[in-house]
Amino acid sequence: MKVDQQLYEEFGPIVKFNGLEPNNDLLFIFNPKDVEMMMRNEGLWPFRPPLKCFEYYRKVTRKDFFKGIGGVLVDQGKEWQEARHHVNPILMQTKIVQMYAPKIDEVAEDFVKKIPGWKDSKNEMPHDFKNELHKWALESIAVVALDTRLGCLDAELDPNSEPQRLITAVHTLLSVMHNLEIGGEAFLWRLIPTPSWKKFVKVMDFFVEVSHKHVLEAIERSKSRPADQEPSALERLLKRDPNPLRAVIMALDMLMAGIDTTSHSLTNVMLQLSENQDKQEILHGELKKIMPNPCAPVTNDMLNETKYLKACIKESMRLMPVVTANARTTTEEIILSNYRIPPKVDVLLANGVISRFSEHFREPEKFIPERWIRGHEQEEKANPFVTLPFGHGARKCIGMRFAQLEMEIVLAKMMRRFRWEFKHGPMQYKSTLVHAPIIWIIFILNDGACDVLLSRFKQWLREYLCLRISARTTQDVRPYEEMPGPKPIPLLGNKFRFLPGFRKYDFGDLIKVSKQFYYEFGPIVKFSGLQPKNDLVFVFDPKDIETIIRGEGPWPNRPPVKCLDYYRKVHRKDIFKGVGGLIVDQGEEWQEGRHQANPIMMQIKIVQMYTTKINEVAEDLVKMIPSWMDSKNEMPDDFKNKLNKWALESIAMIALDTRLGCLEENLDPESEPQRMINAVHTLFETMHNLEMGGESFLWPFVPTPSWKKFTAAVDCISEVSQKYIVQAIERSSRRPVDQEPSALERLLQRDPNPNRAVVLAHDMLFGGIDTTSVALANLMLHLSENQEKQEVLYQELKRIMPDPFSPITSEMVEEMKYLKACIKESMRMTPVVSGNMRKTEKEVILSNYRVPPNVEIMMSHAVISRFSKYFREPEKFIPERWIRGHEQEEKANPFVALPFGHGARKCLGMRFAQLEIQVTLAKMIRRFRWEFKYGPMQYKNTMLYTPINPLKFTVHVR
């Protein structure tokens, strides 16, 4: 709830929180008119974002038990409606709920009569009174959900008893669910079994076991029920629903959702009444009149008269709702606060914040139950969409009426017999999935009272520290100096290995030298003695890669391309004006640049907006293919350059907001597009030599041949880019108001430093030509060498694209599962960039060696992804290994293959590159069958992993 308040205060009544891939964008709304708009337009099947951990557990982990049924907490659409259709007439029907009043009264009586025995010499409740409330809540809901008494309120309940284990399990469940859904493990547990995920599965397995056992017992009891006895809610559900498993799942959901929520709601109202003795006295007066005998059972007729009691509960839920917000996912475009909200946006209806606004309630911070009493002088006609503690409409809380009944009965008994105080406030709260008091609740009874003594936070902190300490390795960590690797010699270090005659390792090919290091030294290799450069450590274990990436902090330090850094910051500072760009900058400067670019470059909606334009470029390429075929149906020797032209034309649409005309027939070798392509080739070749080759120690001191070529190439790219960027800025000033701004225009509008948008356009151009064209070429080679896989892809495309000449849409791309798997498999086998790099900023343990700060780490994915320990038959092209649910699917370690990097430093142009490849490949395979008869292809690996031989594909028109 704190973050909701912060967002409102900083941004206003509607706030977009995006860039959460793979999750949807998240929208916070603080206007009840918008809440009403969401609720009124949600249709027959309101889409509430499912708890993903629940969904995965039921649909995947334990599909053996749940058999495809998610239940009302998980299912959507028709499945959800079917489940709700069966339970609504039972759990939401007042007559059936009232039938449980005597049983719930019995539980409440058993609880309340124990209160005097819990008082100490100060009339205080014990430290574990919160747990006693949990026992009451579990015993109450079990009467409904399992049709039995569990014995939670028995004296001296064994800590290992089933009821206490259930209570403990619920606490664990809510704690880990928050971490799995929106906490630190939200993006991890689907990739690796995180600590919270393991706890979650263990807890859920226990719930399933207990629920199933008691439901089976209830089924047996129902067989001997007298004919004149009213059937229980569980029996009615079993009788009504043809699938008894749904009744088991419903019972399971009621148990999990009906303990902490109800007990915390009761705690909150007791705290409010303890802090407002005048209100408690009014309530006691009402109850004394309705219940002259304080020990008499509470009946439905009595509850109908308890107007003030119900108002107290309602006011407490306004001030302290157990669930602070309702959530929905948009299924179609909707207007909220005058903004167009597209489909597939998760909307958080922040009622916990709204209900404290003075514009909706008089003195909103005060506990005034009278505001809810019809006809009272303090009654307020509140907007019904301001406070929604149980939700609204078809998705309203299914157990609402039972929860209200439980609280009304037990609160009536407690307030009728005791007066409660709370002298240790104000209470502190935590708001994860449930808004609950943090510290121990110890009531003092004058006839009763409530207080707080100890902080559970301290207990959790101790447990956390113990866990961290016990997690330390038992092995002796070895010093960095002992790490294996090529031995340096005095004075020269390892620099002599770059000299002619001493080149044992082939630094002209990064993959080759990585393999040499691995087979000679093992899974971690130190290459030191490179002064003034940092040491370089090669890692070949995905566990080490995970350690590096998980621990890199908000500003991951990726070693900059030093020649590019020098060019921008020193050599041509007149153009770049201190802006290095995302490739060069580090720390806060990098973070600020990434902060400005991420919402545009990584947002799926904006990327999809370019599908039509990228389709046009792809069509211009593909329709020329027949004219390039020779008498053997082969592509020309310069087909690689034609792919480069396509890549430049595609990325120019995004980076420069224009068509360059790269795909025009007979393009002049001196034309700007061809000069750009040639310059990018030169750039990557010279960069490798300047960074890792023979000139890497010389160019900072003398202008080497590679440095001269490099500066000429970057000058060319900068000159041409700058010209088109200026034209794009001029065009943007004339753009019609109703026309969507381009990515470049959005960057210029968003970033207070226009130089950053200009530099980003530069980076996109030289980073989006060779990389994308090589990725497409590699993929076409794999499909040409694996004709059976190409045929599977063709059949998929034939189904999705009946007309091979029709434009490709975002919806079509979404269906292309096999095509995406082919791209992923190609990038595993022949990644364009052979590894990712980071620089340590603090000591880190890798392969049990202490690695100090300022060491550059090469994560050699191109080598690791071919290890048989991580992939079955790694040398084979098997796209099926990436298709979820396929019989050949493999659950690969997510840190083995990272073609676009990972985390905050992930490739910024990733989504655009994927879209370009997807659209173009779909057209090429749909219209032609491709062969390559000159294999196997030879590759070179400098900065990029590229084919050497001409791409003389044989092409057959389909």
Q: Rounded CA gap, 46 and 38, in Å?
A: 10
Contacts with 397 (C-beta within 8 Å, 6 or more apart), sequence order: 390, 391, 403
Contact 645, 677 (CB under 8 A): yes
| Encoded amino acid at 903, one letter | G
- Among 434, 218, 457, 184, which residue's Cα sits nearest to residue 325? 434
Contacts with 167 (C-beta within 8 Å, 6 or more apart), sequence order: 131, 134, 135, 138, 152, 259
**C-alpha separations of 360 from 268, 279, 387, 947 in Å:** 22, 22, 10, 67
Q: Rounded CA gap, 269 and 259, in Å?
A: 16
10 Å Cβ neighbour count for 869?
Answer: 9
Residue 892 token pair: 């690969």
* Alpha carbon 55 to chain centroid, angstroms: 15
How far the first Cα of the chain sits from its last, in Å, is 59
| Encoded amino acid at 930, one letter | W
Q: Rounded CA gap, 432 and 401, in Å?
A: 24
β pairing state of 429-431 and 14-17: unpaired
**C-alpha separations of 492 from 136, 262, 489, 516, 852 in Å:** 76, 72, 6, 22, 22
Three-class secondary structure of residue 17 per DSSP: strand
| Encoded amino acid at 371, one letter | R
* 397 marked as binding residue: yes
| Phi, psi dihedral angles at 155 (to 5 degrees) | -65, 140
Contact 749, 596 (CB under 8 A): no
Contacts with 740 (C-beta within 8 Å, 6 or more apart), sequence order: 609
Q: Rounded CA gap, 504 and 590, in Å?
A: 37
Contact 952, 639 (CB under 8 A): yes
CA angle 572, 574, 579 (to 5 degrees): 80
The one-character DSSP state at 903 is G
Contacts with 672 (C-beta within 8 Å, 6 or more apart), sequence order: 660, 720
Residue 553, phi-psi category: left (phi > 0), alpha (psi -120 to 50), beta (remainder): left
Q: Rounded CA gap, 372 and 378, in Å?
A: 8
Q: Rounded CA gap, 19 and 25, in Å?
A: 7
β pairing state of 345-349 and 25-29: parallel
10 Å Cβ neighbour count for 351?
Answer: 27
**C-alpha separations of 935 from 61, 784, 947 in Å:** 44, 10, 11
H-assigned helices in 491-603:
510-521, 542-550, 562-566, 573-576, 587-601
* Alpha carbon 212 to chain centroid, angstroms: 32
Contact 153, 139 (CB under 8 A): yes
β pairing state of 536-539 and 856-859: parallel
Q: Which residue has tokens 């992930």?
A: 906
The one-character DSSP state at 667 is -
Q: What residue numbers does the annotated binding site for heme cover?
A: 397
Q: What residue numbers does the annotated binding site cover?
A: 397
